[in-house]
Amino acid sequence: MLTRISGGHVIDPANQRDGRGDVWIRDDRIIDSPNEEADVTFDAAGKIVMAGAIDVHSHIAGWNVDTARLLLPEYQSAAAPRPSERKGWSALETGHLYATMGFTTVVEPAVAPHYALHAHLELADTPIIDKATLAVLGNDDYLLRLLHDNESEAAFEDYVAWILEMSRSLGIKVVNAGGVAAFKDNVRAFSFDDVVPAFGLSSRRIVKALQRAVSSLGVPHPLHVHCNNLGLAGNFETALTTIAAAEELPLHLAHLQFYGYGKEGDRKFSSAAAQLAEAVNRTANVTVDVGQVMFGPTVTISLDVLRQFNARTQARPKKWLILDGDTNGVGIVPYNYRRSDFYNAVQWAVGLELFLLINDPWRVFFTTDHPNGAPFTSYPEIFALLMSRDLRANWMSELPAEAMAVTTLPSITREYSLHEIAVMTRAAPAKLLGLTDRGHLGPGAVADIAVYDDLTDRVRMFRAAALVFKDGDLVVRDGHVTRYRWGRALAVAPARDRAIDRRMKDYYAERYGLSDEFVKVPVYALSRPEPFVFVPCR
């Protein structure tokens, strides 16, 4: 099947295309313009054509998300006074809503290894989009033992490789390294150089060991770090310390907005986004995603059990769940970001400042840390805010003036171009994750394509794509899903010394009296043909 998307404004930063032209699809791949008649032609004149967007950090599946749904039945449309057309907050809706916005690949970044099968089962039921998981290490007993016992780097790497393969993950994330483990020993505050009592290890040591192992194994996605001290006034220093600790190797800092807080002003809470942006600008091997806050009710889902425990008193509505899990755990705390709230308004501004003050769109990624800063359905509003200083001024005029006064946002005039949006949401995430087959429109790429009407109302434009193709299939037309199909999960499987398999079997038998089989994600369990695609390691 030969498909031609003709005459659109093609924005493909990875291939230096930014102008009127055609995109050709043969079956599931993009090809160069052939000397043939197309079987189907879509007229894209006056429309914007980009690769399908890629979300590097969105909590969309697994035990944590399921439990958040169960905690909050009132967030379901059926609980609304007048049930709407929406089908509720389900895996189906997740795939549906992402696809209608032109997103075709999404990373679920918080899967504790023992919960990997659960996450993959749910992701397998999330239609249209491809997805990937990040396995969370750094508070797990086995890893802390390895470091405590000064085992070799090779032994450490074998363990990381084993976890990646067992949990079918694309990369490794660390959440408040050591802090979650320390909380089990009743530690209530934990910084980068604090020490986990039971193991005598600092957060720094854990992060550096993981960063080196991920890099040495050739995993394309650098270590994905959720820093210590999330959400606390003055925590920009923790982020600065972590950025400095990256040294020469790549490091990705997740939802940096939540670390952009200083202690200036009457309320001892201010934006420190400018300092953070400056540090990111001068540290070329560090990438960040933002975790933008938008106003409204949401739920925070985080593997940072210590932080969520301390945040439980701010739950709105007043209910929460804290799980002391065996490889990590989770905290689920509903929250309402309010326009009238000084702190929430500062948080909103910090996110936008980071987007606008970090110069290189290849190193700052578009996230709301869904659903922690805002649901992913708020992306179109954020695109619009980034692209228009007038719109930002309108919003700021309705926010507490004293909040805006402790940020630099009112003075920022930068406006994102569509080209920069395409870098940030397509080309750069593909590069960050090591996915050479997507994020661009060059020949050989997977035919994941989003076509938007070029509207002045950017919210409407990005809310409902005119056309979306997934693997060459037309799946969305005029903002409506026209075809359901099942995506796949992207994973890496770096080489390892198989002796680790025996060690892990013995470890699970000794520590838990269990076989290690329960940690594995067998392909047959997912009931889909070819549920995984393997991404090569370097």
Partner 1 sequence: MERAWISGKPTPLDAAIAEAAKLIGASTRILIAGLGTDIAGARAAISLAQRTGATIDHMNSESVLRNLDVMRSSGVMMTTATECHVRADTLLLAGPLRGTARDQLLQNVIGSEQAKNRDRRRIIWLCPGRDLLTFADTVGATPIGRKQEDLPGLLATLRADVAGRPAGKSCVSLKRLRQVSAFLKQSRFGTAVWSSAELDPVVIEMLCGLVGDLNATTRFSGLPLAPEDNAIGVLHVCSWMTGLPMRTSFARGVSQHDPWLFDSSRLVTSGEVDCVVWISAYRSEPPPWRRPPPMIALTAPGTAFVTPAHVHITVGCPGIDHFGVHHFAATGTLAAFAATQPSETISVAEAITRIAAATPEPGGRSC
Contact between 307 and partner 1 by CB under 8 A: the answer reads no
Backbone angles phi, psi at 331, to 5 degrees: -130, 135
Q: Name which position in 117, 449, 465, 504 contacts partner 1 (CB under 8 A).
A: 117
Q: Name which position in 299, 315, 441, 446 contacts partner 1 (CB under 8 A).
A: 315
Which parts of 129-148 interact with partner 1 (CB under 8 A)? 141
Q: Name which position in 311, 521, 531, 535 contacts partner 1 (CB under 8 A).
A: 521
Q: Which is nearer to partner 1, 360 or 516 (CB)?
A: 516
Query: Strand pairing partners for 160?
Result: none
Contact between 63 and partner 1 by CB under 8 A: the answer reads yes
Q: Name which position in 20, 69, 145, 263 contacts partner 1 (CB under 8 A).
A: 69
Minimum CB separation from partner 1 for residue 528, in Å?
11
Query: Strand pairing partners for 23?
Result: 5
**DSSP characters for 10-75?**
EEEGGGTEEEEEEEEEETTEEEPPPSS--SEEEE-TTEEEEEPEEES----SSHHHHHHHHH-GGG
The count of C-alpha atoms lying within 13 angstroms of the C-alpha of 361, restricted to the half-sphere facing its C-beta, is 19
Minimum CB separation from partner 1 for residue 383, in Å?
27
Query: Strand pairing partners for 55?
Result: 106
Phi-psi region of 472 (alpha: psi -120 to 50; beta: other; left: phi over 0): left
Contact between 98 and partner 1 by CB under 8 A: the answer reads no
Q: Which is nearer to partner 1, 362 or 508 (CB)?
A: 508
Contact between 282 and partner 1 by CB under 8 A: the answer reads no
Q: Name which position in 37, 282, 318, 530 contacts partner 1 (CB under 8 A).
A: 318
| Stretch 163-202: interaction string toward partner 1, x if CB under 8 A | --------------------xxxx----------------
**DSSP characters for 253-298?**
ES-GGGG-EE--TTTT-EE-HHHHHHHHHH-TTEEEE-----SEEE
Contact between 495 and partner 1 by CB under 8 A: the answer reads no
Residue 290 neighbours by CB under 8 Å, 6+ apart: 255, 256, 257, 351, 354, 355, 364, 365, 366, 367, 368
Handedness of CA 481, 482, 484, 487 (dihedral sign): negative
Query: Strand pairing partners for 453?
Result: 47
Q: Name which position in 6, 15, 41, 76 contacts partner 1 (CB under 8 A).
A: 76
Rounded Cα–Cα distance for residues 310 and 385 (Å): 32
Contact between 442 and partner 1 by CB under 8 A: the answer reads no
Q: Which is nearer to partner 1, 292 or 300 (CB)?
A: 300
Q: Which amino acid is at 347?
A: Q
Q: Name which position in 25, 44, 72, 288 contacts partner 1 (CB under 8 A).
A: 72
Contact between 283 and partner 1 by CB under 8 A: the answer reads no
- Rounded to a whole number of angstroms, the CA Rg of the chain reads 22
Minimum CB separation from partner 1 for residue 299, in Å?
12
Q: Which is nearer to partner 1, 389 or 520 (CB)?
A: 520
Minimum CB separation from partner 1 for residue 466, in Å?
28
Q: What is the dihedral of CA 246, 250, 254, 255, to 10 degrees?
A: 80
Minimum CB separation from partner 1 for residue 303, in Å?
14
Q: Which is nearest to 286 in space by CA: 325, 336, 332, 246?
A: 246
Minimum CB separation from partner 1 for residue 495, in Å?
24
Contact between 149 and partner 1 by CB under 8 A: the answer reads no
Q: Which is nearer to partner 1, 34 or 200 (CB)?
A: 200
Q: Name which position in 267, 419, 520, 528 contacts partner 1 (CB under 8 A).
A: 520
Please state, as a whole number, how many other Cβ atoms lie within 10 Å of the Cβ of residue 281. Answer: 15
Which H or E element spans position 91? helix 91-100
Candidates 217-225, 308-316, 355-363, 461-469 — which segment interacts with partner 1 by CB under 8 A? 308-316
Q: Which is nearer to partner 1, 82 or 538 (CB)?
A: 82
**CA angle 478–479–482, rounded 5-degree value:** 80
Q: Which is nearer to partner 1, 114 or 460 (CB)?
A: 114
Contact between 87 and partner 1 by CB under 8 A: the answer reads yes
Q: Which is nearer to partner 1, 65 or 349 (CB)?
A: 65
Q: Which is nearer to partner 1, 92 or 245 (CB)?
A: 92
Please work out the total of residues on this chain that contact partner 1, with binding judged by CB under 8 A: 60
Contact between 506 and partner 1 by CB under 8 A: the answer reads no
Rounded Cα–Cα distance for residues 236 and 257 (Å): 9
Helices 342-357, 379-387: axis angle to 10 degrees equals: 60
Rounded Cα–Cα distance for residues 362 and 359 (Å): 9
Rounded Cα–Cα distance for residues 236 and 284 (Å): 19
Q: Name which position in 27, 39, 402, 517 contacts partner 1 (CB under 8 A).
A: 517
Q: Which is nearer to partner 1, 22 or 141 (CB)?
A: 141
Which parts of 199-228 interact with partner 1 (CB under 8 A)? none
| Stretch 370-389: interaction string toward partner 1, x if CB under 8 A | --------------------
Contact between 111 and partner 1 by CB under 8 A: the answer reads no
Rounded Cα–Cα distance for residues 475 and 214 (Å): 35
Q: At 445, list the tokens.
A: 């790429």
For partner 1, the binding residues (CB under 8 A) are 61, 63, 65-67, 69-73, 76-78, 83-84, 86-93, 114-115, 117-118, 121-122, 125, 141, 183-186, 309, 312, 315, 318-326, 510-514, 517-518, 520-522, 524-525, 527
